Structure 1
């Protein structure tokens, strides 16, 4: 079981590292991209260490790798310029501007939602496995952790807005003129975590019923 975890997790990590390397090729926004990738260069060694030590299940490791992959894609275009509309048009013949009337680039919203959705399982698993919490308290801890990290990240963006030049701060933060950007980002992260918590809770309840039955 442990060997199979390593055999799965290391290739997943290798694919994520390749995506990271590809995202740096002919960088479009080199001045802003380096700051976006501070979390990336911290996360990749941590994931390697985790995979070699078999700290997390394959499901949790996949969630972390998916979250990092979404961030890598976003950092390539500093989030506000991810050309997902062009990708949709190439495949489906139409984009979100035509279908939903969107004028704002919502990729950052997707990533905040995905942060809550994908980080809940790994954090809960770590809390149960290494923190000695019950499953219920592990899920509650994961939900609160998502809330706390989301708030801290918005404070970090506020600090960037104060310290950096206005144009640079706007490009990094990606508010796109929305004064309620921070609140919406935190709300989406909490929504993602809430959905993940409910899904995991329901799944565990069904598993227990099957075991009892």
Structure 2
């Protein structure tokens, strides 16, 4: 319930600003895909998502053994997905509403991903500190003292990767070597 409250706030914000902000179908698809990843995490609780079994059924490989993981990394995957999937829709709004272009629009979009990722981690910390017994379900740290930093780095790295690939693609289409 707590994790879905952010989805409700975001959905209300989109609803009330729907006449002001326009997203392309690609941006809507990216945001909906991210929300689907998030919903899987909230359905099972992030530490309980059975992705290892799903990957093993598809590939025959146990990725926990392959990478030597000791914890469920679905939460980290969703943070990476946040950076990868949300940075372009945010950049689209910045480009249209602020009339920023190029690297400036990308920098502001990347900064938005970093700041909102940090705010989410602060809310997780406050939830763990003050909600009491429910914190082990709400916070996906699973004993990792650096979980918040790693989650923010995953989102930042994913967003940066998308923006760099986007920039490289534009340069390549123009026939210019950056």
Q: For residues 152-198 of structure 1, what are the alpha-carbon distances to aligned partners after superposition, in whole Å with 9 as ceiling and x for unaligned?
A: 11111111122111x31121011100001011011111100110110
Within-5 A mapping of 1:26-175: 34-44=1-11, 55-165=22-132, 167-175=133-141
For 1:195, which of 161, 165, 170 is the aligned residue? 161
Equivalent position SS for 1:162: helix
Count of aligned positions: 176
C-alpha distance 47-209 of structure 1, shift in aligned 2 (>3 A): farther
1:204 matched to 2:165? The reply is: no
Query: How far has the Cα of 1:207 moved from its partner?
Result: 3.4
Within-5 A mapping of 1:5-44: 34-44=1-11
Equivalent in the alignment of 1:180: 146
Residue segments in structure 1 that go unaligned for 5+ positions in a row: 1-33
Q: CA RMSD in A?
A: 2.1
C-alpha distance 152-127 of structure 1, shift in aligned 2 (>3 A): same
Single out whichever of 38-47 and 87-96 deviates more from structure 2. 38-47
Q: Is the 8 A contact 2:79 2:152 kept in 1?
A: yes
Query: How far has the Cα of 1:208 moved from its partner?
Result: 3.5
Residue segments in structure 2 that go unaligned for 5+ positions in a row: none
CA distance in 2, matches of 1:62, 1:147: 21
Q: For residues 27-52 of structure 1, what are the alpha-carbon distances to aligned partners after superposition, in whole Å with 9 as ceiling and x for unaligned?
A: xxxxxxx1121122334455567778
Equivalent position SS for 1:55: coil
> Which protein is bigger by CA-based radius of gyration?
1
Q: Is the 8 A contact 2:21 2:93 kept in 1?
A: no
Equivalent position SS for 2:48: coil
